[in-house]
Structure formats: structure tokens, C-alpha cells
Amino acid sequence: MNKHIKVPFSKDELANLEAGDYVYISGTIYSARDAAHKRMYDAINASEYKHEDGKVLFDKNILPLDLTNNVIYYLGPTPAREGQVIGSAGPTTSSRMDKYTPLLLEKGLRGMIGKGKRSKEVIDAIVENKAVYFAAVGGAGALLSKCIKKAEVIAYDDLGTEAIRKMEVEEFPAIVVADSKGNNLYDTAVDNYFKRIN
């Protein structure tokens, strides 16, 4: 089903997304890939403390973005030419972020855009935290760059292409791969295809 969604997420919108939906995403998203994930992960772990009621909290100010209800795009773009918002901007392989993702979901992150399979731990954390994983078309970086209307490096500038960018997107095309109910399109895609053609 084709859906037009706004991010950061409202709860209702997220609950309605199902694996296989073709979505057009508009709103604010953040780019982060390997090195930025490692930094955020280490920062959270280093600032975690036990509240008197027993809950494990962390210093939210330690992160360059508020994860709550937000979406991270696994992206390291090429540099923008003069007059362009951003260079080529397609998804990178998500599985390299698997180690860090459950913790970010626990701390409020609700969506990831990337490509490729996720670990069982990530899929479980997506269900547990009522989140969603989208795939964008790999290798379509020039096309996807046209949906990014603003981009600004907000942290980890020294990482170059791996810095965290705050980006305004309009009608960014993606496919829901893993939904909050535990459905996983990559697991069913091949079967679905054979059913469709027979």
C-alpha cells in the first residue's frame, strides 16, 4: 500500500505501518552511519546512571540529537557541488549498525532507513520498542538526493562524510521492511514473489 508519512513520528502513524508498504517520507531525519553510531553508543554507555527508582537513565544532552520518535538514515553522502543541497545520497548497508541499534531504540529512536537484513536482536528491539525499519533503493543516490531539501551538519564534523546531518526530506521513497508487529519483508519477499507470479 502507498502511504505518505510525516516524521518525527506520531504514535498512530507508526502503528499503521506494515511490512511491504511503499512509503513517501516527509519531515526531519538525521544521517548517521558506522562511526557516528559508535560515538553515540559509547556516549550513552558512558553517561548511563541508575535513577533512585531503579531505572537506567542517561544524560540526554550528551547526544547531538534527541532520539525520541526520530528517524536515522544510514547515509554517508558525496560532497555537494555548488548550488546543490547534498551530493549522492543513497542508503548504506544496515547490518553494520546492528550492534548499536537496540540501545538507540531503547533510548527513543523509532525508525531507521537503510538497506539489507538486520540481526534478530534488532528485529526483536523493533517489536519491543514499536519502531520500524525502512529500505531505500540501494545505488539510487542521485535520484534520492532530489528528495533532500535541506542538509546541515550538526555534529561530529571531523568524521567527514560520516558526520551527523539534520535533513529536511520531501516524499522520500522507501519500503517498510520490518514493522512493529514483527513482520519482515526480506523473509517473505521471495515467497511472495513466487506466489504473485504463479
Partner 1 sequence: MRTLNTDVIISAVKDMCISANLYLADDMKKKLEEAAIEEDSPLGKQILEQLMENLDIAAEDKIPICQDTGMAVFFVNVGQDLHIEGLKLTDAINEGVRQGYKEGYLRKSVVSDPLIRTNTGDNTPAIIHYDIVEGDKLEITIAPKGFGSENMSKVYMLKPSDGEEGVKASVLDAVKNAGPNACPPLVVGVGLGGDFELAAKMAKKALTREAGSHSKHEHIAKIEEELLKEINSTGIGPGGLGGKITALAVNIESHATHIAGMPLAVNMCCHVNRHLTRVL
Q: Of the candidates 25, 29, 67, 76, which one interacts with partner 1 according to CB under 8 A?
A: 76
For residue 106, list its beta bridge partners: none
x-or-dash string of contact with partner 1, 11-50, rule CB under 8 A: -----------x------------x---------------
Instruction: State the cell numbers at 27.
Output: 519531515
Residue with cell 516524499: 171
Q: Of the candidates 90, 105, 126, 164, which one interacts with partner 1 according to CB under 8 A?
A: 90
Q: Of the candidates 18, 27, 58, 87, which one interacts with partner 1 according to CB under 8 A?
A: 87
Instruction: Find the shortest distance in angstroms from Cβ 56 to partner 1.
Output: 29
User: 163 exposed, middle or buried (CB, 10 Å; 0-12, 13-18, 19+)?
Assistant: buried
Q: Does 80 bind partner 1 (CB under 8 A)?
A: yes
Instruction: Find the shortest distance in angstroms from Cβ 79 to partner 1.
Output: 5
Q: Of the candidates 99, 117, 149, 166, which one interacts with partner 1 according to CB under 8 A?
A: 117
Instruction: Find the shortest distance in angstroms from Cβ 86 to partner 1.
Output: 9
Instruction: Give the whole-angstrom CA distance, residue 78 versus residue 90.
Output: 10
Instruction: Find the shortest distance in angstroms from Cβ 136 to partner 1.
Output: 9
DSSP output for 73-129: E---PPPPPTT-S-S--PPPBGGGGTTTHHHHHHTT--EEEEBS---HHHHHHHHHT
121/193 with CB nearer partner 1: 193
Q: How far apart are the first and last CA of the chain?
A: 21
Instruction: Give the whole-angstrom CA distance, residue 183 versus residue 19.
Output: 6
| Residues in region 165-194 near partner 1 by CB under 8 A | 173, 175, 185-186, 189-194
